[in-house]
Amino acid sequence: MKLTKIAIACLCAGALYAETSTARLNDSAVALTEIMSAPDGGIPHELLEKAQCIVIVPGLKKGAFIFGGKYGRGYLLCRNGARWSAPAGVTIEGGSFGFQIGGEETDAVMLIMNGSGERKLLQSKFTLGGDASVAAGPVGRTSSAETDLQMRAEILTYSRSRGVFAGISLQGATLRPDHESNNEMYRNRRSNQQIVMGKTAPPAGAAALEADLARYSAHKE
């Protein structure tokens, strides 16, 4: 367990050093566009249209040597009437154990499909698969039966890998508010609930992300 915490701490230190909130917002917009533009392999538009919230974590770090850890910083946005809310900062972290070696950087996207999942996600600490049901989301043009099956989960997860691991598991990972990122974006201490449920104006750096999200979630066949 101590080695797992050390692995996560090392990943955290690297992520904290790397980027500003504006850079992560831009990376989030790029990640969403690349996932949605994947030929016959993106997130089904009808699911994004129905989602209550979305979490985007660009460049989720994962490293392992016997013990493993994963860490990333990203953003949560929820529907606020006909529009999407301002982004609220989140961190995701978790550990794994097994005979593994390698490293990975992954763009992760989570769709929160209902109000119950949204309320749980806005807690101070949220565990995927523990506090809410999680399933790997269907991709591309899936059948109605498969989509209906996946919709039983409160959260659907997607990833786009750029490393040596094949795939990603978010089961058991925890999400927390990223207060440092929120302070940087809004210049005062606001909770994630205040940001996504209120009338917080988004920072200028979120323009590309919000435009892309509005475009993809408004898609009609």
184-200, pLDDT tens digit by residue?
Answer: 999 887 899 999 998 89
User: What whole-number distance in Å separates Cα of residue 156 and Cα of residue 147?
Assistant: 11
pLDDT at 3: 40
pLDDT at 164: 36
Do the domain assignments include residue 53?
Answer: yes
In the chain, the percentage of residues whose pLDDT exceeds 90 is 32
pLDDT at 108: 86
Do the domain assignments include residue 196?
Answer: yes
Do the domain assignments include residue 220?
Answer: no
Do the domain assignments include residue 214?
Answer: no
DSSP 188: S
Mean pLDDT of 44-48: 85
Q: Can you give the residue range of the structural domain that contains 68?
A: 2-208
User: What whole-number distance in Å separates Cα of residue 129 and Cα of residue 155?
Assistant: 9
Q: Are 50 and 98 in contact (CB under 8 A)?
A: no
pLDDT at 73: 93
9-38, pLDDT tens digit by residue?
Answer: 444 444 444 478 999 999 999 999 888 887
Q: Are 15 and 71 in contact (CB under 8 A)?
A: yes
Q: Are 170 and 191 in contact (CB under 8 A)?
A: no
What lies within 8 Å, CB to CB, of 145 at 6+ separation is none
Q: Are 87 and 142 in contact (CB under 8 A)?
A: no
Mean pLDDT of 40-59: 86
Do the domain assignments include residue 221?
Answer: no
Nearest to 76 by CA among 41, 133, 123: 123
DSSP 220: -
Q: How high is the mean pLDDT of the chain?
A: 76
- Asked which of 50-64, 146-160, 178-192 is least confident by mean pLDDT, the reply is 146-160
114-125, pLDDT tens digit by residue?
Answer: 888 898 888 888
pLDDT at 98: 42
Domain count for the chain, please give it: 1
Do the domain assignments include residue 41?
Answer: yes
Q: Are 174 and 90 in contact (CB under 8 A)?
A: no
Do the domain assignments include residue 219?
Answer: no
Mean pLDDT of 154-174: 67
Do the domain assignments include residue 218?
Answer: no
pLDDT interval class at 76 (50, 70, 90): very high
Nearest to 60 by CA among 104, 17, 29: 104
Mean pLDDT of 134-154: 63
